[in-house]
């Protein structure tokens, strides 16, 4: 299959927080990959901006190191690392002071190029950056800002942040990143749903028994303990990533694949979500047990608070009150230090209304499973006759479409989510970015759940590292006569 790389227009991309962890691990290596793929025009400039008083040479050395360490080993077809570094610049700047702004303004003064500003800094600085971009004349109508997560920590803070950004930028200029939306398989979810006649007629409460979404991690909180303990799995994962996946799986077909048509439909899903009943949600906290790292600490040790009540695991059941989904449960689960790193959406269809086969043929259901990571692909479980003599015995087999197998090298060498999203910013395409009202609606659904825990002094249930969460999570499904898909590689 021939790879189609369409170069984007010349651009200036300023990365505030250019020396930070996210820039080094994701943004800069991703840009290098786009350069190597021939998508980044030679006139494009990437300008790192942070307080560190380093010169361009030192920043380029840091970029070179980051691309080597986090670039993920690939062949650079259209140039060299040196040529990429030539396109890199740096300004020492303070988001909260005047240092560096005149220099940045000077560098950005050439017109006729796309101007994008990536806020890869603490959310506490988002407002300062927006204000100073306007003050220094860089917030014109064509400029775009990219805002990292977390976008608020509840409805009120999200509304305040939206209002602050709206003082300086229009909604069409604001790109709120949820990198899950940039994943190849997530977009494939839309292709599968809306590009095939096969699924859509069955995609409703009449034929679907339930839907499961699991995002399981094997890592613990690592060095992010302080941040994570103030956040927890609900704010860090469910309110954004799992919510976005839920929207894509449940939304009505948009009239067009364009930003507002897609986001309007996602918003309707969030607004139709039922409140979650207290006994339909399980919180967990992982306990010490060596797994990937020798003597890895339990959650409370990792965050340095022996009484922490923050959850590192969530399993919940919710419903969408609309005609398509009334009565179909959606089960969401995410956690740290689970048995495998795996993100999967599973649509479990109902049994046939009547079985013509003998009773011992068993119960069979079609299961459509969309794996986001690892081994991105789609599997459809179908029921067939078990080969051989001995009567009509039925067996479930997977029709497996692992992208790497089906699409060859191109399927395997997928574009990282951050690369795709940054190129979308340059192209001015907001389809895969969250709109302000979407984020607020997601918080409006999440807030009462968190407030309920706080009011009840809820303590998360302990679970073993390397397990799939507290036993209550299994029970949540078992009560309904269902079970979670096994978390597997």
Q: Which sequence positions are flagged as catalytic?
A: 241
- Ligand-binding annotation for 73, yes or no, is no
Nearest to 120 by CA among 11, 30, 245, 223: 30
Nearest to 176 by CA among 77, 259, 107: 259
According to CB under 6 A, which one of 12, 14, 20, 325 is a site residue for ligand NAP? 20
Site string for ligand NAP, 133-152 (x = CB under 6 A): ---------------xxx--
Half-sphere exposure of residue 403: CA atoms within 13 angstroms, side-chain side: 23
Site string for ligand NAP, 82-121 (x = CB under 6 A): -----------xxxx-----------------------xx
- Ligand-binding annotation for 22, yes or no, is yes
CA distance 105 to 97: 14
Query: Counting contacts by CB under 6 A, is residue 22 touching ligand NAP?
Result: yes
**Distance of closest approach, residue 11 Cβ to ligand NAP, in angstroms:** 20
**Distance of closest approach, residue 16 Cβ to ligand NAP, in angstroms:** 6
Query: Counting contacts by CB under 6 A, is residue 52 touching ligand NAP?
Result: yes
Query: Counting contacts by CB under 6 A, is residue 256 touching ligand NAP?
Result: no
Answer for the pair 247, 298: CB distance below 8 angstroms, yes or no.
Answer: no
**Distance of closest approach, residue 237 Cβ to ligand NAP, in angstroms:** 11
Residues within window 191-230 making contact with ligand NAP, judged by CB under 6 A: none
- Ligand-binding annotation for 217, yes or no, is yes
How much of the chain is in helix, strand and coil states, percent to nearest 5? 40, 20, 40
Q: DSSP string of 218-264?
A: S---GGGHHHHHTTHHIIIIIIIIIHHHHHHHHSPPPSSSSHHHHHH
CA distance 36 to 87: 13
**Distance of closest approach, residue 128 Cβ to ligand NAP, in angstroms:** 7
Q: Which residues of 466-487 are buried (b: 16+ CB within 10 A; e: fewer)?
A: bbbbbeebbebbeeeeeebbeb
Site string for ligand NAP, 371-390 (x = CB under 6 A): --------------------
- Ligand-binding annotation for 18, yes or no, is yes
According to CB under 6 A, which one of 7, 71, 123, 253 is a site residue for ligand NAP? 123
Q: DSSP string of 312-328?
A: SEEEEEE-B-STTTTT-
- Ligand-binding annotation for 24, yes or no, is yes
Total residues at the site for ligand NAP (CB under 6 A)?
Answer: 23
Q: Which residues of 187-220 are buried (b: 16+ CB within 10 A; e: fewer)?
A: bbbbebbeeeeeeeeebebeebbbbbbbbbbbeb
Query: Counting contacts by CB under 6 A, is residue 405 touching ligand NAP?
Result: no
Answer for the pair 433, 118: CB distance below 8 angstroms, yes or no.
Answer: no
- Ligand-binding annotation for 336, yes or no, is yes
Nearer to ligand NAP, 190 or 421 (CB): 421
**Distance of closest approach, residue 9 Cβ to ligand NAP, in angstroms:** 26
Coil/strand/helix, residue 345: strand
Residue whose pair of structure tokens reads 């809820």 in the numeric block: 458
The region of 21-29, 82-90, 318-326, 443-451 touching ligand NAP under the rule CB under 6 A is 21-29
- 129 to each of 95, 144, 186, 284, 314, how far by Cα in Å? 6, 13, 31, 37, 34
**Distance of closest approach, residue 2 Cβ to ligand NAP, in angstroms:** 33
Query: Counting contacts by CB under 6 A, is residue 17 touching ligand NAP?
Result: yes
- Ligand-binding annotation for 160, yes or no, is no
Regarding beta strands 367-373 and 342-349, do their DSSP bridges make them parallel or antiparallel, or are they unpaired? antiparallel
- Ligand-binding annotation for 112, yes or no, is no
In the annotated binding site for NADP(+), the residues are 17-24, 51, 149
Binding site for ligand NAP (CB under 6 A): 16-23, 50-52, 93-96, 120-123, 125, 148-150
In the annotated binding site for substrate, the residues are 179, 183, 217, 236, 336
């Amino acid at each position: 299959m021939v790879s189609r790389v369409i170069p984007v227009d010349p651009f200036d991309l300023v990365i505030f927080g250019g020396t930070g962890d996210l820039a080094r691990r994701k943004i800069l290596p991703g840009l290098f990959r786009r350069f190597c793929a021939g998508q980044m025009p030679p006139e494009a400039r990437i300008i790192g901006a942070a307080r560190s008083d380093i010169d361009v040479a030192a920043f380029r050395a840091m970029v070179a190191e980051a691309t080597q360490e986090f670039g993920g080993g690939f062949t650079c077809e259209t140039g060299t690392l040196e040529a990429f570094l030539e396109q890199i610049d740096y300004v020492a700047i303070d988001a909260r002071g005047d240092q560096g702004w005149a220099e940045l303004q000077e560098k950005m003064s050439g017109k006729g190029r796309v101007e994008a500003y990536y806020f890869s800094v603490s959310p506490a600085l988002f407002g300062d950056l927006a204000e100073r971009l306007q003050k220094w004349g860089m917030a014109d109508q064509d400029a775009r800002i990219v805002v990292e997560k977390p976008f608020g920590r509840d409805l009120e803070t999200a509304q305040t942040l939206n209002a602050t950004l709206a003082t300086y930028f229009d909604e069409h200029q604001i790109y709120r990143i949820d990198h899950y939306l940039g994943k190849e398989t997530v977009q494939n979810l839309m292709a599968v749903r809306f590009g095939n006649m096969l699924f859509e007629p069955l995609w409703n409460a009449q034929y679907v028994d339930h839907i499961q979404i699991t995002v399981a991690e094997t890592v613990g909180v690592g060095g992010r303990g302080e941040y994570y303990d103030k956040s927890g799995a609900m704010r860090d994962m469910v309110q954004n990533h799992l919510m976005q996946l839920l929207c894509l799986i449940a939304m009505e077909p948009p009239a067009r694949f364009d930003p507002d048509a897609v986001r309007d439909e996602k918003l309707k899903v969030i607004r139709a979500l039922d409140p979650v009943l207290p006994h339909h949600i399980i919180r967990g906290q992982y306990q010490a047990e060596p797994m990937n790292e020798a003597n890895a600490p339990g959650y409370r040790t990792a965050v340095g608070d022996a009484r922490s009540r923050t959850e590192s695991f969530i399993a919940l059941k919710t419903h969408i009150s609309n005609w398509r989904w009334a009565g179909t449960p959606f089960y969401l689960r995410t956690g740290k230090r689970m048995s495998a790193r795996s993100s999967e959406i599973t649509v479990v269809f109902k049994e046939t209304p009547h079985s013509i086969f003998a009773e011992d043929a068993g119960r069979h259901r079609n299961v459509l499973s969309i794996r986001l990571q690892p081994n991105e692909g789609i599997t459809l479980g179908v029921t067939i006759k078990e080969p051989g003599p001995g009567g009509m015995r039925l067996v479930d087999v997977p029709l497996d479409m692992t992208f790497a197998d089906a699409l060859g090298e191109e399927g395997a060498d997928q574009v990282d989510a951050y690369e795709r999203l940054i190129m979308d910013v340059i192209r001015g395409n907001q389809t895969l970015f969250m709109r302000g009202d979407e984020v607020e609606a997601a918080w409006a659904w999440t807030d009462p759940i968190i407030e309920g825990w706080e009011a009840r002094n809820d303590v998360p249930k302990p679970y073993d590292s390397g397990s799939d969460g507290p036993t209550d999570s299994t029970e949540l499904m078992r009560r309904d006569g269902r079970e979670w898909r096994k978390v597997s590689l």
